[in-house]
Structure 1
């Protein structure tokens, strides 16, 4: 018999406590009376963990807070204990702004929201009620005071240096470092002793300043009244920034599809007539005699010298347009990440494409005008915080869309496709599409080239159409056609040309030797004669 393993009383107590809490939470969620007070069925999960596909070792720091934890996912981690005193110091300053404000009073106010707070998190929160509510009270107070002071004076006293500011700002925008906006609203209500409307106004101004500084795209915010009306739709700070950059594009595309369906219903009769006429022509020209008669002149002409070169120049554009049309209507197959092929900025610039910055600043303004060759893009803002913000926006979109189109992810793939080198970054800067505060253009190019990893395949109508329009315009330019012709028929056949040159040189040398021999024989014959 093996000796019995000693029982850890604390572990046993923890398991029993967790089981009792689980039963209590289930009872609360199923209780009809409490359900009216906490309509959890209306609360959507909005605070996620990073998808495993994005948690590669090279960019792990972009998703894990380095200076401060916000919310329950990373709280009480040993590596973040050093900055807890900064958090408490700033939270105390928040408390001292109101004589009547006390943290235990805020915790009591948040007590009625405890179940709603837990419902916002995708990962199970293994914390008791009191611990969770105190984390919410301290973190929300710290967050509000830090952002208020930072965007009012540009610094948070002397508690943290400038490098620490940027680290905290990056931590605030991480997908796993979020707390619900209704907690921030309640904290402001208690501190200001005001209404929800007043708390919303102050919170909106704080978030607007934050997003202006950290957004990877230069945002033009909506009218204040419209933004206030939509403010309750935002889940947390990262969601606020995401919805400013990626407005309701999916809904707009669905409305356009419905309009197209309605228009197509009126054209069904005409399409049916054209289809029947097309079938009749096919039956006539598909016969064997007609096929021989129609193909005979083409076979004669195609064997003429130099026809291959001309046919390459004139038929390549038609073939590419046909291939593009097929890809447009092939809706069943989503585009692969590897299928996003588009020329770089420098190649497009040489082909006559002009890059134009858009005014609104969100992803929906991406377009291409085939008539003028103008490529419209929102202004890109790059600084030391952009890489982290971009990656967490991509991770949030992948977790929050539930199988929908990954609009922002597709946009990053587009920019990654056109930026290959520091020369591409320089051209975008000179044309006003990119504003960089990084050390060099090479650093900016490396940052975008590292954004190619995606969670899953996606298809976004207006972005895919823009890519196809750009490719069609680029391949249709005469400079590109001639360049490709030279590559295929000159540089691509250099071995044959080298062989022919060697044969020609051998023939010339042989002729020269023969002429010398015959000359010598003739001279020798004259002398002997």
Structure 2
């Protein structure tokens, strides 16, 4: 019986092992299927990522036209968005800007119809821009997803519009009596704002190429393109006189405006460090005197401080001033080739000086700031102008150090108090003199009494 039991027992054991083996095989098959499925899923993701990898950087060292970073855009969205005309690919095709496309094409027709040179043909202009297409694409801070045909067409139409606009403004070419650009009082001002936006730029090489291929060879009195451009923007560029003789390469219209403003800018003196200075009101209490630097309008950045006197060149703050300031600052923050943050440094100084409307009103009364805006608007403008920026190279290190050293000196403050409280008018002087005389007589009388007693 034991033998049979053992046989039965062994057979049962063998049966159980075979069943377990089947379960293991089934489980392994399921695991293999899962692994195969997972592997296919991973390979699908890997293939998707590889298809998106970029062999070349998204932008090049030649990039000079950028999207506005959201950290700067959020402070005033309207300062960076065109109201009337789109230039270049970033704003191209916006519904609210399409109405200007007809005027662009009409301006192109006017230019071609005059035929100032033998090179002024649509075929010649298209070929010229087509030959520099890749260089133009590299000027933008991100890849432009446009076909070659659409991109070149946009460059030609937008570039010829800018060239014709500048010539008509300078009256180098006749204006049509039905031209809405010059028959509408507000349109030129809007164009100045739109054409100075960082996102609304064309590479300078495009505009310059189209300008020279459409320039009359027998017209020696015609102005250079940069001077025409700066004269167009003069009213809105803080009232500064055009400075077109700077030995700097122009990258686009906004860059040309910035170069013109740097005519007499101080050189950067330190790296990412600056000391805040007190406001106008606080400096006045410390005895600092403010003067308008000169009557010339070509050196607004040339602020100086010496012997308690701060001299500030005049600046005209119009309706488009905030937009221009913000786009210039955004440009300095975006372009890695710009090391000296001159405009940003200037904004820092003005922000320090103007804390309240009282500070703004003082500078307006001194005719340092010329504006039709209210003193509250001026204070608000400068108080938030350079928020969320990094001043890589600050241009007023020595000025801030000298101002703070003067402000912290007690003797200057005491002198100011004496002048304000005791020497501000003849009656104050008379009262002080009388008080000193009475004090002197009292002292002498006391001294005489003591001498007599002893």
Query: Normalising by the residue count of structure 1, what TM-score does the alignment of the two structures yield?
Result: 0.60
Match of 1:236 in 2: 252
Q: CA deviation at 1:363?
A: 5.7
How far did 1:387 drift?
0.9
Separation in structure 1 between the aligned mates of residue 69 and residue 129 of structure 2, nearest angstrom:
30
Specify the alignment match of 2:131 in structure 1: 112
Determine if the alignment matches structure 1 residue 445 to structure 2 residue 379: yes
Deviation at 1:353, TM superposition (A): 1.5
8 Å Cα contact 1:49-1:176 kept in structure 2: yes
Matched residue of 1:123: which SS? Answer: coil
| C-alpha deviation, 1:81, in angstroms | 1.3
2:71 is the counterpart of 1:53: yes
Q: Deviations over 1:351-388 (max 9, x none)?
A: 3422232447436522200x2x2212232111111111
SS at match of 1:176: helix
Tell me if the contact between 1:356 and 1:374 (Cα under 8 Å) persists in the aligned partners: no
Whole-angstrom distance in 1 between the partners of 2:242 and 2:411: 39
Residue 240 of structure 2 contacts residue 298 of structure 2 at CA under 8 Å; is this kept in 1? yes
Match of residue 365, structure 1, among 278, 283, 302: 302
TM-superposed CA distance for 1:204, in Å, is: 2.6
> 1:164 maps to which residue?
187
Query: How far apart are 1:403 and its partner, in Å?
Result: 7.7
**Contact 2:265–2:299 at 8 Å: present in 1 too?**
no
Q: Would the alpha carbon gap of residues 205 and 406 (structure 1) be closer, same or farther in structure 2, given more than 3 Å must change?
A: closer
CA distance change for structure 1 residues 203 and 159 in 2, over 3 Å: closer, same or farther? same
Partner of 1:399: 334
Query: 1:283 maps to what in 2?
Result: none
Residue 121 of structure 1: aligned partner: 140
Match of residue 204, structure 2, among 181, 192, 195: 181
1:85 aligns with 102
Flag structure 2 segments of 5+ consecutive residues without an equivalent: 1-50, 418-454
Residue 315 of structure 2 corresponds to 380
Preserved CA contact (<8 Å) 1:65 1:174: yes
Q: Is 2:232 aligned against 1:210?
A: yes
Alignment of 1:116-155 (within 5 A): 116-152=135-171
Contact 1:217–1:245, Cα closer than 8 Å, also in 2: no
- Between the aligned partners of 2:387 and 2:88, the Cα distance in structure 1 is 27
Secondary structure of the 2:292 match is: strand
Contact 1:216 1:386 in 2 (8 A): yes
Report deviation, 1:134.
Answer: 0.8
Q: Say yes or no: does 1:192 pair with 2:215.
A: yes
Aligned-residue offset at 1:199: 11
Higher percent of residues as helix = 1
Q: Deviations over 1:128-154 (max 9, x none)?
A: 111111111110111122222234499
Q: Which has the larger radius of gyration?
A: 2
Correspondence list, 1:281-296, <5 A: none
Aligned length: 355
Any idea what the Cα deviations from partners look like across 1:461-485, whole Å, max 9, x if unmatched? x51221221222223254746999x
Q: How far off is 1:178 after superposition?
A: 0.8
Aligned counterparts of 1:198 and 1:189: Cα–Cα separation in 2: 13
**TM superposition shift of 1:202:** 3.0
Aligned to 2:344: 409
Q: Quick one: structure 1 residues 390 and 144, their matched pair in 2 at CA, closer, same or farther if it must change by over 3 Å?
A: same
| Shift of residue 247, structure 1, vs aligned partner | 5.1
- Alpha-carbon distance in 2 for matches of 1:424, 1:60: 27
1:246, 1:356 → 2: CA distance?
19
CA RMSD of aligned residues (A): 3.5
1:342 to 264, 271, 277: 277
1:148/1:403 Cα in 2 relative to 1: closer, same or farther (>3 Å)?
closer
Q: Residue 114 of structure 1: CA displacement? A: 0.9
Cα-to-partner distance string for 1:119-176 (whole Å, 9 max, x where unaligned): 1111111111111111111101111222222344999854142223222211100001
Cα distance in 2 between the residues matched to 1:341 and 1:97: 56
Q: Are 1:68 and 1:80, in contact at CA under 8 Å, matched by a contact in 2? A: yes
Report the Cα distance in structure 2 between the residues aligned to 1:190 and 1:421, rounded to whole angstroms: 52
**SS where residue 141 of structure 2 aligns?**
coil
